[in-house]
Amino acid sequence: NEHIYFAFDKSNIDAAAQEVLMRKAEFLKEYPNIYFTIEGHTDERGTNEYNLGLGERRAESTKSFLVDLGIEAYRISTVSYGEERPLCMEQTEECWAKNRRAAFVIN
């Protein structure tokens, strides 16, 4: 259940995230009956509306990457929680970086 992380105000999949997603794709190919949700999250900076949109872009870019690796789109749902479910509550860059993520939940 490893998360992937994003740069501030970005939704693109960087090299570190690509490595994680390639491992996830291999696992998912071995277990074709697994359906899952990708949750998009942001740090607290920005408006709630903006962060919900950014979280959605993060979840969708993650889904697109997995689909490009051969995972069927119908197995993947997405949701954005924006800033509503932080992993870390401190107001530091280190903490904000932990909150800028895509998380995976098996349905």
The contacts of residue 69 (CB under 8 Å, 6+ apart) are 21, 22, 25
**Which residue bears the tokens 């949750």?**
39
The whole-model pTM stands at 0.95
Q: Quick check: helix, strand or coil at residue 62?
A: helix
- The gap from C-alpha 95 to its chain's centroid, in whole angstroms, comes to 17
The contacts of residue 57 (CB under 8 Å, 6+ apart) are 11, 40
Q: What is the pLDDT, as a whole number, of residue 1?
A: 80
Tell me the pLDDT tens digit for each residue of 14-73.
Answer: 999 999 999 999 999 999 999 999 999 999 999 999 999 999 999 999 999 999 999 999
